[in-house]
Amino acid sequence: VTQARDAPAGAVDPLQRLTKLLARLPGIGDKSAMRLALAILRTDAPYALALAEAIGSIHASVRECSVCCDLSADPVCPRCQDPRRDDTTVCVVAQPQDRIAFDRAAAYRGRYHVLHGVLDPLAGIGPNALRIEALLRRLEPREGGPSPVREVIVATSPNVEGDATALYLARLLLPLGLSVTRIASGVAVGGELEYADTTTLTRALHDRRPL
Ligand SMILES: [Zn+2]
C-alpha cells in the first residue's frame, strides 16, 4: 500500500483505501473505482453514511429463502408466499439475478428454485456446492399428499456448464416421474440469461422442450 505524500506516516490515504475496496467488486476497474470514490466524496455526508450502513448490514439482513434458496429479507421469500403462483411448476435458475430477469419478463407464474451456481468440474464446483438437496426436499411427499410439483423447468444459461447442470438434474428428477424441461436456446448460445431481453426470455420459456 502506497501512502499519499501528505498522509501521516503509517496512515493509508482514505481516498486510496476506498478506491482499492471498490476495485475488488466485479466489473469495477481501477479507473471506475477512483471515479466512484470521488463521486462518494462529493455527495453529502448523510448519503455516504446511508451507503456505508446499507453495505455494512447486507450480510445480516439478507438470507436464503428456506424453500427456494433465493435471496430474501424474510425466512420465506415473497415468491414462495404468493398464493397466486402455480405450485405445479418449478423453474430452476442458477443465480438470483436470473430469477429477477424472469420476473421482469412476467411470462412465468410458477415457483422458482435458485441453485447458486452451475456444475463446473474444472472449477471444482460439484452437485454438493449447489442447492440441489433443497430442491429434492420440495419434491418429496408432504403431509396430506404428494408434492404438487409436476414439471421442473431447467433455466440455466445455454453454455457448457448450464447444459451439464440441466442433464444432471434430468437424470436425478426423471426417475421421480416428473416432467423435466429445458428452456429453448433463444438466448444466444453461450449467452447469459440475466442479459436476455424479456421477449427472448418469454420465447425461451414458451418453446421449452423435454430433457
Ligand atoms: Zn422462496
Between the CA of 34 and the centroid of ligand 1 the distance, in Å, is 37
Average pLDDT over residues 189-201: 72
Tell me how far apart the alpha carbons of residues 180 and 203 are, in angstroms, rounded to a whole number.
Answer: 18
Between the CA of 64 and the centroid of ligand 1 the distance, in Å, is 8
Cα four-point dihedral sign 192, 184, 172, 83: positive
What tens digit of pLDDT does each residue of 91-113 get? Answer: 999 999 999 988 887 778 999 99
Between the CA of 112 and the centroid of ligand 1 the distance, in Å, is 7
R_g of the chain, CA atoms, integer Å? 22
Split at pLDDT 50, 70, 90, the class of 166 is very high
| Residue whose entry in the numeric block shows the C-alpha cell 471515479 | 35
What tens digit of pLDDT does each residue of 15-60 get? Answer: 999 999 999 999 999 999 999 999 999 999 999 999 999 999 999 9
Q: Quick one: pLDDT at residue 43?
A: 95
Q: Say what the alpha-carbon torsion angle 189, 191, 197, 201 is, to the nearest 10 degrees.
A: 60
Between the CA of 209 and the centroid of ligand 1 the distance, in Å, is 25
At residue 66, what are phi and psi to the nearest 5 degrees? -70, -10
| 12 has pLDDT over 70 | yes
**What integer best gives the mean pLDDT of the chain?**
90
| Residue whose entry in the numeric block shows the C-alpha cell 408434492 | 147
| Contact (CB, 8 A) for 182 and 211 | yes
* Residue (of 129, 108, 133, 107) closest to 119 by Cα position: 129
Between the CA of 114 and the centroid of ligand 1 the distance, in Å, is 9
Tell me how far apart the alpha carbons of residues 184 and 68 are, in angstroms, rounded to a whole number.
Answer: 23
Between the CA of 147 and the centroid of ligand 1 the distance, in Å, is 16
Between the CA of 67 and the centroid of ligand 1 the distance, in Å, is 5
